[in-house]
Amino acid sequence: MENSRRFSIEEEKPFKKPGFFKRYLMAKMKRIYRRDRIELQKPLMKFLTSKWFMERDIIAFPQYKLLNNNLNILKEEEVVLKYSFPDFYEKHFEGDKEIKECGGFYKYTIELNNVRLIGGSDIIILNEKYALYDLKFLDREKAFDYTDEAIKFLKNDTVVFETNKSKINLPRGVCFVGNYSANYYHFIIEIISRFEQLDKLKLDKDIPVIMDKSCWDIRQLQELMTLFNIQNRNIIIIEKGVQYEVEQLYYISKPNFIPPNYKDITNIKAQHNLFDEVSLTFIRNTVLNSVQEKYDFKKRLFISRKNASGRRQYNESEIYEILKPYGFSIFYPEEYSAIEQATIFNQAEFIIGATGAAFTNLLFCNFSCKVICMTNYDLDVSIFCTICRLFGIELLYMYDETLELNKDSDVHIDFNISPNKMKKALEIMLTDTKPI
């Protein structure tokens, strides 16, 4: 690992912020794109802004494979993906506890020539007509909101990008770039998981990995990248929102599917988040093989969000006062390395906290661990409960019953958890009894 080198792509001239006239035209064009009716202004505005915007038809792997007979498919495997429903205390543990399966999905690796990669985006610009974006075609109910770094507008199968082209071409590389890649959860579940496929391929070890600079700047993500990069490939980091021409790109599909956002959170369904058990097991085993044998920390953890983002704030101090007599200690995950976090979670017997990226570490818990996750609404978000069910970890959700859920609700809204209900839920889980 120590010999792995990192190369940063530096632009000859930094990208300038657009002036007033350019900002006005770009804003005008975005408004026109969002309207359904045809406007006489549109052809003129498209001409004026042609250097700043580009349109492509988005396409998924199965369709692109049919259109391109010369596509070099290095690996293609049909897989069964899994999901489960969350279990809520307020619903008296009545949730469906079975792991569900969905077939007809593919893990694949393809070689693409002369394509464009966009920093911080899941989209690959294939040519003058098409862009590769598998996630869009999994949204059969049209529920997702595509908040991708590259997407400025998306309707039906047409996507509009803001052109921010680099003058630097990359000869070759393996794509480890993605939307929300600097988020701890997305990085582990969607980015690092690609090593499970890469390690099986017989690719020249001189072919570098291309990743987002925003990931490399976070020490825990850099640590994980180094841990999983067992082939000691060089790492090229690229800037967010910038397009890079790559002469020979090896694209490994995401094994797990996580929607970026929702138009209406009342439409969230457990089956929208789908997981490949093989890739999750690979991540779990790789990290657990590196955990410290013993870490001096309490076995009952209360995960604090005080140093996290300002989203989803709640009555944390009040809840902690309830938990202290039961031997819970406050844990600030961001103060620890990735391996230290995994070790502490693995040694824990009980974990309580509000939903957030730190709960990604549930992937590394031991099979006897119990977890209470606090959240705002009783939504069928399956990003943590599926992981727990796959690895035998008992997870219970608690939510704020005073909040009214509707189509305008914010998934990141602050909330309040009843201290009395927390105490009852904790005692139930400690005694392994269920309410009558």
- Interval 315-369: pLDDT, tens: 999 999 999 999 999 999 999 999 999 999 999 999 999 999 999 999 999 999 9
How many Cα atoms within 13 Å fall on the side-chain side of residue 362? 33
User: Does the residue 73 lie in any domain?
Assistant: yes
Q: How far apart are CA 313 and CA 332, in angstroms?
A: 15
User: Does the residue 275 lie in any domain?
Assistant: no
123/226 same-domain check: yes
User: Does the residue 417 lie in any domain?
Assistant: yes
71/207 same-domain check: yes
Q: What confidence score (pLDDT) does residue 434 get?
A: 45
User: Does the residue 97 lie in any domain?
Assistant: no
Reference 29, options 16, 39, 19, 17; nearest CA is 39
314/185 same-domain check: no
Reference 227, options 263, 260, 201, 188; nearest CA is 188
242/145 same-domain check: yes
- Residue 68, classified by CB atoms within 10 Å of its CB into exposed (0-12), middle (13-18) or buried (19+), is middle
User: Does the residue 414 lie in any domain?
Assistant: yes
Which of 221, 252, 283 represents a domain boundary (last residue)? 252
User: Does the residue 296 lie in any domain?
Assistant: yes
59/204 same-domain check: yes
In terms of DSSP bridges, do strands 53-59 and 130-132 run parallel, antiparallel, or are they unpaired?
parallel
Q: What confidence score (pLDDT) does residue 95 get?
A: 62
117/211 same-domain check: yes
What tokens appear for 371 in the block? 């977890």
Query: Which of the residues in the chain have pLDDT under 70?
Result: 1-18, 30, 32-42, 45-50, 92-95, 309-310, 433-436
223/346 same-domain check: no
418/361 same-domain check: yes
Domain extent at residue 116: 51-81+105-252
Reference 209, options 198, 201, 220; nearest CA is 198
Judge whether 86 and 398 are in contact, CB under 8 Å: no
Residue partners of 26: CB distance under 8 A and separation at least 6: 18, 49, 52, 53, 162
User: Does the residue 29 lie in any domain?
Assistant: no
C-alpha angle 109-110-116 in degrees, rounded to nearest 5? 120
340/399 same-domain check: yes
CB atoms within 10 A of CB 139: 14
3-state secondary structure of 185: helix
76/220 same-domain check: yes
Q: How far apart are CA 301 and CA 296, in angstroms?
A: 13
Counting the structural domains of the chain, the total is 2
User: Does the residue 28 lie in any domain?
Assistant: no
- H helix or E strand, kind and range, residue 424: helix 419-431
Q: What confidence score (pLDDT) does residue 152 get?
A: 83
Q: What confidence score (pLDDT) does residue 25 get?
A: 72
- CATH for 394: 3.40.50
Q: What confidence score (pLDDT) does residue 376 get?
A: 96
Q: What confidence score (pLDDT) does residue 421 get?
A: 95
For the chain, what percentages of helix, strand and coil (3-state, to nearest 5) are there?
Answer: 30, 25, 40
110/232 same-domain check: yes
Q: What confidence score (pLDDT) does residue 18 get?
A: 62
